[in-house]
């Protein structure tokens, strides 16, 4: 990780009260091992939390996106970063005064590069035990990261600057709390819009399951065959009465680790929410199709249909298979059969 900037502001507010106190920093935190360790730990906690993806709501009057855009168009020096963060946290202070259940905490604004991507993130940290953060006259010092873990990360938003610059969708990633009313004010502050559909996420899950290293079959101690694994995933997902997929639960079930699938998605830049409603049509691609007619037995996964196998538009009795590997195997089989027949004759 290359940490470029970090500043922390504290917003003090108790649940059930409408009074707030905002303690603004005037200086960035010095970048040292403790600062890098803190941001690395928070970023790692973010990756293992329940997340969803979005973009900025670009309609008129959306404060956070406007101020962030102003910062991107500035010289992006330390003073510009301080101004941007002080403006948006002051805007949040105005909003939470009206929200009875909202609570405050430490807001860490960070700018860093990791795995080749530039990020601007906001981490809301609460309940830090020990001497982790110490307030100074103009800022904070980070004394230790020993007590910072996933439980301290209350809410967070990570902005992928590369995706934003290339006008790709879902450049925002946010944590999703189970207490919807608590996370809503954070989302309203960031000003987000969600675009991705259940169909697209189900497609992405199919791609992940098709590419990720497969778990071991407990009966054979060998890796599951790809078709077997897809069928097992289909069976697990389709039995959910809510018609939803929870990536962490799915990962725990098959890998005995709730983070395996989400970490693979993150490492391979695959956008997928931690929890989403699945699309029935796309989910059926996980199970294979088997047809036996006219002495021809054709078996393939539904995911291959319209990709490697498709019906001809020109005639009802034509099926087109486009696969170099299949064609080579068929030619080899025919050649070996012909060779055997010649030897017998």
Q: Where are the domains of the chain?
A: 2-193, 198-283
With 0-12 / 13-18 / 19 or more C-beta atoms within 10 angstroms meaning exposed / middle / buried, residue 288 is: middle
Please write the tens of the pLDDT for every residue from 126-164: 765 544 677 777 887 777 655 444 456 778 999 999 989
Measured distance CA(8)–CA(28) in Å, rounded: 8
Beta-carbon count within 10 A of 104 CB: 22
Beta-carbon count within 10 A of 222 CB: 9
pTM for this structure? 0.67
Residue 209 bridge partners (DSSP): none
Measured distance CA(326)–CA(345) in Å, rounded: 29
What's the pLDDT at 182? 54
pLDDT values of the chain reduced to their tens digit, one per residue, 345 residues: 999 999 999 999 988 888 899 999 999 999 998 899 889 888 887 776 778 888 999 888 899 999 999 999 999 999 999 999 999 999 999 999 888 888 888 999 999 999 889 999 999 987 655 446 777 778 877 776 554 444 567 789 999 999 899 887 789 988 866 555 557 888 899 998 876 678 888 999 999 999 999 999 888 889 998 888 999 999 999 988 888 899 999 999 999 999 999 999 988 888 888 888 898 888 988 887 778 888 898 888 777 788 889 898 888 899 999 999 889 989 998 888 877 666 665
């Amino acid at each position: 990780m290359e940490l470029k900037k970090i500043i922390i502001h504290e917003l003090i507010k108790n649940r059930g009260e409408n009074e707030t106190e905002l303690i603004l920093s005037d200086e960035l935190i010095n970048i040292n091992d403790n600062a890098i360790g803190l941001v690395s730990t928070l970023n790692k906690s973010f990756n293992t939390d329940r997340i969803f993806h979005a973009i900025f709501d670009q309609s008129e009057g959306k404060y956070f996106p406007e101020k962030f855009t102003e910062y991107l168009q500035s010289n992006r020096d330390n003073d510009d970063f301080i101004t941007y963060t002080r403006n948006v946290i002051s805007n949040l202070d105005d909003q939470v005064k009206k929200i009875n259940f909202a609570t405050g905490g430490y807001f860490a604004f960070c700018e860093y590069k990791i795995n080749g991507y530039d990020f601007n993130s906001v981490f809301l940290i609460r309940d830090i035990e020990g001497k982790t953060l110490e307030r100074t006259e103009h800022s904070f010092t980070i004394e230790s990261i020993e007590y910072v873990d996933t439980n301290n990360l209350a809410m967070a938003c990570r902005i992928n600057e590369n995706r934003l610059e290339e006008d790709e969708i879902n450049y925002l990633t946010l944590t999703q709390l189970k207490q919807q009313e608590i996370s809503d004010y954070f989302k309203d502050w960031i000003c987000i819009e969600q675009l991705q559909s259940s169909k697209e996420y189900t497609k992405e899950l199919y791609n992940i399951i098709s590419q990720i290293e497969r778990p071991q079959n407990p009966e054979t101690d060998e890796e599951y065959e790809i078709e077997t694994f897809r069928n097992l995933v289909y069976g697990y997902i389709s039995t959910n009465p809510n018609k939803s997929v929870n990536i962490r639960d799915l990962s725990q079930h098959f890998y005995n680790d709730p983070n395996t699938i989400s970490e693979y998605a993150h490492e391979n830049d695959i956008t997928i929410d931690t929890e989403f409603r699945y699309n029935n049509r796309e989910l059926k691609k996980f199970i294979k199709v088997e047809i036996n007619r006219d002495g021809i037995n054709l078996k393939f996964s539904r995911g291959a249909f319209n990709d490697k196998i498709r019906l001809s538009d020109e005639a009802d009795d034509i099926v087109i298979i486009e696969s170099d590997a299949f064609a080579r195997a068929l030619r080899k089989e025919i050649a070996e059969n012909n060779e055997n027949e010649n030897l017998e004759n």
